[in-house]
């Protein structure tokens, strides 16, 4: 367990985007691959944008970190995706990944999986190009502020997506509730909120350093989202099999996906 809450300045100063991807998303032994989270997230996102009909003009991807997989299905049904993250390093890495620059993490197999899921015969390069053309920019964002994107003022968007971010940004459950309210101000009425979180996790390790994580339960998440003014459209939890070595790095016991509509 992390001894203290890992604040945003620590993320800004010490978080290593490439190291994080190699530890958590490597297709052979990455923690979020081995535990089934990545496959689960790709499937649920595909369903959100097809079966559940989530679409619109603008999607805001809050706390994207260095990953791009979450935008692969979204770019087919939104005219524009705006990325948003607190750390400069993550925003820079995200932009480099969109351009598929040498030395960045290789998402080829993940992109291929999404293309096969969609069944439109799109190649990996065509999908990369579609994603590059749909993401217009990535902006500085602090979800703990009542106006998370200030000084920038954004028109309210059609969808907010935040994957594996808020549990790291919040020191306690009250902060988490407030953060949900903060990001909800950026969303249109009738718009959709997509959240994934790892549950019952207290910390995770990266590069020999331990980062804090807010322990969340399915019940808390359901209650907090409904009380913020949403109707839950889809909620699913998948358990994680115990593996001591991997639990020592990150001790969550399950993963949650939520799709909700703003009342």
Q: Please indicate if the annotation marks 24 as binding a ligand.
A: no
Q: How far is CA 59 from CA 73, 187, 200, 241, in A?
A: 12, 9, 28, 33
DSSP code per residue over 83-151:
EEES-HHHHHHHHHHHTT-TTS---HHHHHHHHHHHTS---HHHHHHHHHHHEEEEEE--TTSSSTTTT
Q: Would you state the structure tokens that stand for residue 8, as one six-digit string?
A: 């945003």
Q: Please indicate if the annotation marks 69 as binding a ligand.
A: yes
As a whole number of angstroms, the distance between CA 198 and CA 135 comes to 26
Which spans in the chain are helix H?
8-14, 17-24, 31-34, 37-49, 88-98, 108-118, 124-134, 166-169, 173-184, 218-227, 244-249
Which residues make Cβ contacts (< 8 Å) with residue 33, sequence separation at least 6?
A: 24, 25, 26, 27, 39
Q: CB–CB of 259/52 below 8 Å?
A: yes
Q: Please indicate if the annotation marks 85 as binding a ligand.
A: yes
Q: Please indicate if the annotation marks 61 as binding a ligand.
A: no
| Sheet-wide strand order for 78-85 | 135-140, 78-85, 56-62, 157-163, 187-199, 254-262, 230-239
Q: Please indicate if the annotation marks 230 as binding a ligand.
A: no
Q: Which residue numbers belong to the known binding site?
A: 20, 25, 69, 85, 90, 142-143
**Bind-site residues for S-adenosyl-L-methionine:** 20, 25, 69, 85, 90, 142-143
């Amino acid at each position: 367990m992390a001894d203290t809450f890992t604040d945003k300045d620590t993320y800004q100063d010490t978080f290593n985007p490439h190291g994080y991807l190699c530890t958590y998303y490597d297709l052979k032994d990455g923690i979020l691959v081995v535990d089934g989270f990545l496959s689960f997230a790709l499937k649920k996102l595909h369903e959100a944008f097809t079966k559940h009909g989530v679409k619109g003009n603008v999607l805001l991807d809050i706390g994207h970190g260095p990953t791009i997989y979450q935008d692969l299905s979204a770019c087919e049904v939104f005219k524009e995706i705006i990325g948003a993250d607190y750390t400069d390093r993550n925003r820079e890495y995200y932009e480099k990944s969109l351009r598929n620059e040498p030395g960045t993490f290789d998402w080829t197999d993940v992109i291929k999986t999404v293309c096969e899921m969609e069944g439109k015969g799109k190649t990996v390069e065509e999908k990369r190009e579609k994603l590059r053309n749909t993401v217009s920019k990535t902006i500085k964002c602090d979800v703990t502020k009542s106006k998370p994107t200030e000084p920038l003022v954004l028109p309210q968007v059609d969808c907010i997506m935040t994957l594996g971010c808020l549990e790291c940004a919040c020191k306690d459950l009250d902060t988490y509730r407030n953060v949900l309210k903060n990001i909800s101000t950026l969303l249109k009425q009738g718009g959709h909120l997509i959240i994934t979180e790892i549950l019952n996790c207290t910390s995770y390790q990266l590069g020999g350093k331990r980062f804090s994580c807010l322990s969340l339960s399915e019940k808390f998440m359901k209650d907090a989202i409904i009380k913020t003014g949403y109707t839950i459209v889809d909620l699913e939890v998948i358990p994680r099999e115990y593996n001591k070595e991997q639990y020592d790095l990150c001790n969550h016991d399950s993963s949650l996906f939520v799709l909700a509509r703003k009342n």
